[in-house]
Amino acid sequence: MKQPPRGLQDLIHSLESGVVRRLIRCFLVGLLGVGVLALYLLTEARNFSNPEAMEMAQVGRNLAAGRGFTTHFIRPVSLQYLKQRAVDRGLSQDRLLKRAHPDLQNPPLFPAMIAGLFKVLPAGWMNGLPARVERSRPPAEIAITFMNLGWFALGTWLIFRLGARLFDGSVGGLAAAAYAGTEAFWRFSSNGLPTPFLIVLVVLLIELLTRLDDIGAELAPGVVPPLAPPLKLAALLGVVLGVGFLTEYAFGWLAIPTVVWLLVTHVRRWSTSAACLAVFLLLATPWLARNYQLSGHVFGTAGIALVEGTAKFPEATAERYIHAPKEMPDVTELRVKLSVNLAEILRNSIPRIAGSWMTCLFIAGLVLPFRRSGLRRLRWFTVGSLALFAVVQAFCRTQGSHLVPDVNPENHLVLLTPAIFLLGSALFFSLIDGTEFGHDLFRSLFVGGAWIAFSLPLLTCLLPPRTYPLIEPTYRPDIIRDITGYTQPGELLMSDIPWAVAWYGDRDCIWLPLQLQDPGGEDFYAINDSERDVAMLYLSPLTTEQPLRRALATDEFVWGRFYMDALVRRNLPTGFPLKYGYPGSASNGHLLLADRPRWE
């Protein structure tokens, strides 16, 4: 029978081993995590800066309010698709812009998560603003941040478990700690993007692939394992891929390396591959059919990203066409876009994925031999997926990547950080295992020092001075709420930041068309006269603070010249229906014109 500890020495020994030791470690790690979380939320977390985050949040709010999968952010190209589809189906094109506008840009799952979150929160949180917007964030954005941080914490735990199973507890612990200490993922969480959830799905994907490898490993060579167990895991792989695709379309590209893994490694290769793809398509097809039914395009307006950034469609002009363009980019233009963006990715993005130095260990570890075939396959799965995502990212890069570099939903490379951090941690411990530290304490201190080095970007950003939440000068929730307060829910606004007007103002807002006046109909009047009256025109500092040389150019920056005419010269085009300027906005670099003096 085991004796209870006697004396101080036995008590210390009991605390250093077993369950008590693990509990103390977990308590200290949890305390550190809570401290970092509190510091980050109080000193570094900012309002949403990604257009995609604001767009998905307002779609989720519409879902929670019972308006269906509709959006207040209206792209002219979305109207173009709806009209063309109505022609193809022999339906009326009238009043398309006067109805609730279906969202054709986003997959449904993340907005549905936000809608579920809003359903359980107080109703005032969906639209509420703090009393002092310069010091506090809107409660809805705080709630979405906490939801993302929950996925972030789950991802950290899953990385630890996966690392402990594939390697050992030390590798899993360092990889999970490095992930938790990477500042970019805190920014992804606070920016309201689905990246933390997608990383959870990537870890589950790797978990299922490696477990599928283990089936039959204990059998004698040539013996085929039963069909049921691998089919179940393959079906789960299809579920993970389908859920990821319905969260972000680019996630579906991981089906290629997944199926290659199954075809190359498993004895039940054809059955498992077919089961995985069948479940994936079963989940994805209904949503693609919905998009095609509404717009005639299976990806809705999301597919326009392929041509954005080409010579014919610089910046975000492709999304602002009211009518179908006469010319589309040819193969040469697409090849130029691929080569330019791919070169930038190879120079900057891949060497510093997620801004962590752990990437350097991963790259160096590519020459490290693994005795286990499963680990070799994991490494090549990671390398192949990185190459695939680099090409996808280069082809689909849009203006959003320039508005918010690195921390944006077009940064697909960060989804592979779980595998990168695990393989980098494996190299780290293989290097120090041959080092004589003299005592386990010194080894632990060395590993802890390495984690501090990996996490320096996060730790240094927590130091003073405090970062205030406003994304100035472009996104001012108080100004947008003040402006939209002069309109009714059924009225239409036009803006250069329609995603922010839709999120903070909860009003229908269409993106600025390409021209103010244009013989081809790509202009303000094509919307106001033919589709729906525009009650207000709102130009933010995104337009008004552009360099003067662009505003004076002949064929570009039409709305910049319009701003200068309206504000500096006090001159509006003849017949322009929005003649009344709001006196309180121009001083802050915001211009508001309305159809009547609504603020009197």
Q: Using CA atoms, how far apart are residues 415 and 358, in angstroms rounded to an integer?
A: 15
Report if residue 96 sits inside a domain.
no
Stretch 582-597: mean pLDDT, rounded? Answer: 77
What length does the chain have?
600
pLDDT score of 221: 57
User: In the Cβ-directed half-sphere of 506, how many Cα atoms lie within 13 Å?
Assistant: 17
Lowest pLDDT segment from 60-69, 85-94, 558-567: 558-567
Shared domain check, 399 and 269: yes
- Show Cβ contacts of residue 365 under 8 Å, excluding neighbours closer than 6 positions: 379, 423, 424, 426, 427
Domain boundary among 461, 488, 504: 461
Report the interhelical angle of 269-295 vs 76-88 (nearest 10°). Answer: 90
Shared domain check, 492 and 455: no
Stretch 324-342: mean pLDDT, rounded? Answer: 91
Report if residue 570 sits inside a domain.
yes
Stretch 203-223: mean pLDDT, rounded? Answer: 78
Stretch 78-89: mean pLDDT, rounded? Answer: 91
Stretch 206-231: mean pLDDT, rounded? Answer: 75
**Residue 388 Cα to chain centre, angstroms:** 18
Q: Using CA atoms, how far apart are residues 224 and 268, in angstroms rounded to an integer?
A: 8
Report if residue 341 sits inside a domain.
yes
Shared domain check, 264 and 226: yes
- pLDDT band for 219, please (50, 70, 90 cuts): low
Shared domain check, 396 and 350: yes
Report if residue 501 sits inside a domain.
yes
Shared domain check, 487 and 378: no
Report if residue 291 sits inside a domain.
yes
Helix (H, G, I), strand (E, B) or coil at 130: coil
Region of 18 on the Ramachandran plot (φ > 0 left; ψ -120 to 50 alpha; else beta): left
Domain holding 577, by residue range, is 477-594
- What is the total count of domains within the chain? 2
Shared domain check, 416 and 342: yes
For 156-174, what is each residue's pLDDT tens digit? 999 999 999 999 989 999 9
Report if residue 77 sits inside a domain.
no
Report if residue 154 sits inside a domain.
yes
pLDDT score of 95: 81
Which has the higher per-residue pLDDT, 13 or 373? 373
Which has the higher per-residue pLDDT, 33 or 339? 339
Stretch 401-425: mean pLDDT, rounded? Answer: 91
Lowest pLDDT segment from 14-23, 94-103, 498-507, 550-559: 550-559
Buried b (16+ CB within 10 A) or exposed e, 171-188: bbbbbbbbbbbbbbbbbb
